[in-house]
Amino acid sequence: MRFLLTPPRMLATAAVVSLAALAAALVAQYQFDIKPCPWCVMQRGIFIMIAVVSVLGWCLHRVKAARIVALLLVAALGVAGLVAAGYQHEVASKLASCDMTFADKVLTALDLEARWPSVFMVTASCSEASAYTLLGQPYEIWSGLLFTLIALGSLLTLKRRPRLHA
């Protein structure tokens, strides 16, 4: 575990994991016809933001303040993603429609469906999207697990004291 807990390695890992999660979602959508709901798409956006912040933090990791800000933002985004996945699983999946929920309002306000439809086009309701599973668990559970690991990794990296070189 110590291997991952240096700031550059943690930031690189967060970026790779986030982009892999996005790629997996797109493969599931386009190869296996798994249709995303607004909360699924919101989580994609959070994974993209984690990747961007992580790459910027990785590039600037020699600047202590930039490294700390990047790790804090990645942790906060991980928590935001976990909240989104939890909300999708516990609340939105039980709604007849997820129109005009927070996720739908954000996607509409940012016009993401029109700007990048191949990634952000909503094609299912939340109850439909939660019916899809991978290894017996809904996709939002897997997403929430990844967000949790990213947030914990970032926080543990911040907590870790750097070793002094002799």
Alpha helices (H) along 111-166: 112-115, 117-120, 126-129, 139-159
Angstrom CA distances, 44 to 37, 99, 159, stand at 11, 18, 28
CATH of region 7-159: 1.20.1550.10
Q: How far apart are CA 164 and CA 166, in angstroms?
A: 6
pLDDT value, residue 71: 95
| Residue-averaged pLDDT of the chain | 84
How confident is the model over 117-128, as pLDDT tens digits?
888 888 777 666
SS3 159: helix
- Residues of the chain under the 50 pLDDT cut: 1-2, 164-166
Where along the chain do its domains lie? 7-159
Question: Which tokens sit at 126?
Answer: 């939340």
Q: Are 37 and 87 in contact (CB under 8 A)?
A: no
